[in-house]
Each structure stands twice: as C-alpha cells, then as structure tokens.
C-alpha cells in the first residue's frame, strides 16, 4: 500500500519506504494534501500522531518540485520548536526523509557552542530547524537571514507559550516575508494561541486528530496506590517484570530524577536521568543510550522529556503525578505512538488523589486500579 494517495517525488518515496512508513497516519492523510495545495494549516494534534512527517514530507516535495535547491542554498523553510530535544528529533526526521536528495538542513539550539551551528549555516541550508532563543540570538548577531523563507512551521505552539517564547516568535516572524505558507501545530488551543493564529495564518485549513486533551486510545492506563515512602520499592517491583523492556519514569523534581536513577542502578537496573540541570551533551548521550537500548530506564522531568520520540516505547511510569492534568496527557503520549500499543502506570500517594481526580475528569475515564499480587493495598 502506498504511503499516501499522492504522487510523491521518487527520492521522498524511497526514503519513506526505507524508514518503514507504509500507511499515512490520520494527521498525515489530512495535512499533506492541504500543504501541497499551498494552503496555510492550523493543526490540532498531540505528539505521537505523526505530525513531523505531516509537514516535512510536503515541504521536501515542494522544494524538489521547485528545483530551488542550489549549490549554495538559502533558508527556504523554517521550523520553530520549543525544546532542544524536539528540534533534534525533527532534524533526525529531516535527515532520514531527505537522504536521497541534495536538500540540506541545520538545527539550532542553545546550551552548546554556536560556532559549529554557524559553520553549517555558512555552508548553506535549505531547511532550518531552531529553538526561538538561539535563532533570535544568531539573528541579532547578523548570522541568519530569513528573507527568502517560503515555508514557516510552528511546532508545539502551546508549549512555546508555556515556556515564554511567544514574544520571541513574534519578533522572529517580522523578518520573514509576509508572502509565505504557514503551518501551525498545537496540542491545545488556549486563548493566546488562538489569538496568535489569527495574526499568522491566512484562511487556514484546520486539521484535527485525537480530540484535544484526551489520552491516546492505544495507551492502557493503570494506577497503583502507594504511600510516598513505598514508591521506590513499588517501582522496583514493577521493573522486575521483564515485559517492561524500555521505560520512561517521570518525576516532578530534578533532584528526584537523579535520586531514582542512582537507586535503580544500585539495584542492577540500568538507568539515566535527564532534566534541565544536565548539560546538552549529557542529555543527548542519555537519550541516545536509551534509544539504542543500552539503558533500560530513562528518568525524566517534564520539560526535558518534550520531543523524546522512541520507537516502540512500551511503558511510561508516573512516579509522581504531575501538577496539571494536561501534563499527564503529554507524558503518557510518549508511548502508544503512531498506532503502537503502550502502557502508562501512575503511582499515586494519598496526597496526590486530588490530582488523579483532575486527570480522570480531563480524560473522561476512570483509570483502572492495579494491585501487586499479595499486596492488600487500600484505597
């Protein structure tokens, strides 16, 4: 079966086949024809729905059709992402999907030396993927020109709002030609995001999959009730099940992520922690080790985990329940991605029961209570 019922450039089709894309996801089926029709897009889609390919595939197709890829290319497409991890993930997809073309891409993010990134820009780039802070910094230094940008993508706009990037984005967009095509993706649509869409998009086509703030249907959800001091032993008990091959464990606090990682390694379970206090190199190394199955468990805080895309991630464990129900939806969206099955387990203390109630209200379902065999837990 073809990826999508549209004649794609042979180079793009070959890359899709090599990457295992056999059937387009709903967001890809809806968005790709609209983008190729040169329309602006307002996409309401959570992570794990395949939205990265939904904008990269048609952008690559249009660049190839235009024949505008030159020996010394200028920036024709700009993709803005809220975090380093997501920017790197998009760049990884761009690399794979453009493998059989001469299209060049670069990724910009803070926390590392700018010189290697500047060198790549000077060598010529067709597609630029960037976090707003580093891009604005390099623009202020006169090192980036956006005068030739024809395609603008804003990915995870709601997260950019949460992280305080909206003003940066507005300033960046002033330097992009008004006669451009804009693709705007957000998992939720708070008032400020809707206001932004009105200023950025021209008569957009709205594409929407997985209703806003609902958990992915492929994810099976359980909750264990446990006192705070018993959470570590319960986590160890859960990981004693060999079916838990690759697991992301979420915590609210950075120091707790480190503490759990040390505890698991001491107990013979390979684990790494990623959070905002880790250097970019440490975070990239930990993520790469996890993707290559060299570590079994990745312990992460919410901000550090944005953009993590791991093939066939079977389990997510909420060691702490998040402060907002929307964050729970984002967390469990790390598994059950692109049609795969996944399991999300939450460990809930007595103090966290009000948070659990808010989560269940948002997702409109009662999460199944699970018990360890032989453990007479009380609710």
Both 44 and 106 in one domain: the answer is: yes
- Give the pLDDT confidence of 168-211 residue by residue, as tens digits: 999 999 999 999 999 999 887 878 888 889 999 999 999 987 55
Whether residue 360 sits in one domain with residue 241: yes
Name the domain boundary from 183, 208, 233: 208
Cβ-count burial 211-232 (b if 16+ within 10 Å, e if not): eebebbeebbbbbbbbeeebbb
Within 41-131, residue ranges assigned H as helices are: 51-66, 84-97, 115-123
Q: Are strands 271-274 and 151-154 parallel, antiparallel or unpaired?
A: unpaired
Pair (27, 102) in one structural domain: yes
Cα(350)–Cα(356) distance, rounded to whole angstroms? 10
The answer to the question of residue 5 being in a domain is no
Show the domain range for 180.
10-208
pTM of the model: 0.65
Pick the residue with more confidence: 375 or 195?
Answer: 195
Digit-coded pLDDT (tens) for 93-140: 999 999 999 999 999 998 888 999 999 999 899 999 999 999 999 999
Q: How many Cβ atoms are within 10 Å of 132's Cβ, its own excluded?
A: 25
Which residue do the tokens 């446990």 mark? Answer: 226
- pLDDT at residue 73 tops 80: no
Averaged pLDDT, 77-95: 92
Structural domains of the chain, count: 2
Measure the CA–CA gap between 16 and 99, rounded to whole angstroms. 10
CATH number at residue 60: 3.40.50.300
Burial category of 20 from C-beta neighbours within 10 Å (exposed 0-12, middle 13-18, buried 19 and up): exposed
Say whether both 193 and 310 belong to one domain: no
Which two tokens mark 358?
Answer: 């808010």
Q: Are residues 202 and 223 in the same domain?
A: no
Domain co-membership, 325 together with 355: yes
Of the two residues 7 and 107, the one the predictor is more confident about is: 107
| Residues 355 and 264 occupy one common structural domain | yes
Please answer whether residues 104 and 124 qualify as being in contact, where contact means their C-beta atoms are separated by less than 8 angstroms.
Answer: yes
Residues 353 and 244 in one domain: yes
Reported as a single tens digit per residue, the pLDDT across 308-348 is: 667 678 899 999 998 888 788 878 877 866 556 789 999 99
Q: Which two tokens stand for residue 364?
A: 């409109």
Whether 45 has a pLDDT exceeding 90, the answer reads: no
Spatial distance between the Cα atoms of 64 and 75, rounded to a whole number of angstroms: 14
Residue 376 counted as domain residue:
no
Q: How many CB atoms lie within 10 A of CB 371?
A: 12
Instruction: Evaluate if residue 163 carries a pLDDT over 50.
Output: yes
Q: List, in sequence order, every beta strand (DSSP E) within 117-179.
A: 127-130, 151-154
* Residue 95, in any domain of the structure: yes
| Cβ neighbours around 275 below 10 Å, total | 23
Q: Which of 160, 186, 208 is the last residue of a domain?
A: 208
- Domain co-membership, 105 together with 184: yes
């Amino acid at each position: 079966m073809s990826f999508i019922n549209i004649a794609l450039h042979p180079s793009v089709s070959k890359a899709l086949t090599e990457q295992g894309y056999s059937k387009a996801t709903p967001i890809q089926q809806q968005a790709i024809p609209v983008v190729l029709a040169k329309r602006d897009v307002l996409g309401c889609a959570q992570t794990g729905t395949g939205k990265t390919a939904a904008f990269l595939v048609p952008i690559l197709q249009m660049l190839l059709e235009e024949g505008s890829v030159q020996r010394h290319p200028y920036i024709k497409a700009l993709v803005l992402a809220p975090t380093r991890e997501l920017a790197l993930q998009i760049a990884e997809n761009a690399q794979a999907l453009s493998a059989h073309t001469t299209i060049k891409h670069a990724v910009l993010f803070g926390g590392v030396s700018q010189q290697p990134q500047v060198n790549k820009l000077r060598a010529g780039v067709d597609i630029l993927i960037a976090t707003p802070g580093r891009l604005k910094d390099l623009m202020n230094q006169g090192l980036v020109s956006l005068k030739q940008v024809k395609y603008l993508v804003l990915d995870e706009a709601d997260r950019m709002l949460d992280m305080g990037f909206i003003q940066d984005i507005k300033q960046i967009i002033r330097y992009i030609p008004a006669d451009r095509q804009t693709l705007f993706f957000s998992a939720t649509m708070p008032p400020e995001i809707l206001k932004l869409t009105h200023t950025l998009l021209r008569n957009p086509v709205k594409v929407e999959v997985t209703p806003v703030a609902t958990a992915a249907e492929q994810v099976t959800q359980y909750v264990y009730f446990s006192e705070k001091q018993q959470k570590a032993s319960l986590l160890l008990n859960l990981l004693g099940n060999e079916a838990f091959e690759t697991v992301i464990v979420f915590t609210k606090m950075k120091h707790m992520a480190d503490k759990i990682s040390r505890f698991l390694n001491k107990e013979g379970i390979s684990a790494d922690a990623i959070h905002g206090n880790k250097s970019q190199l440490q975070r990239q190394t930990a993520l790469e080790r996890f993707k290559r199955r060299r570590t079994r468990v990745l312990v992460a805080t919410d901000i550090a985990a944005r953009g993590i895309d791991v093939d066939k991630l079977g389990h997510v464990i909420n060691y702490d329940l998040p402060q907002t129900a929307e964050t729970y939806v984002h967390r469990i969206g790390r598994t059950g991605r692109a049609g795969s099955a996944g399991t999300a387990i939450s460990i809930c203390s007595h103090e966290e029961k009000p948070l659990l109630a808010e989560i269940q209200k948002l997702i409109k379902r009662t999460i199944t209570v699970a018990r360890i065999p032989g453990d007479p837990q009380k609710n």
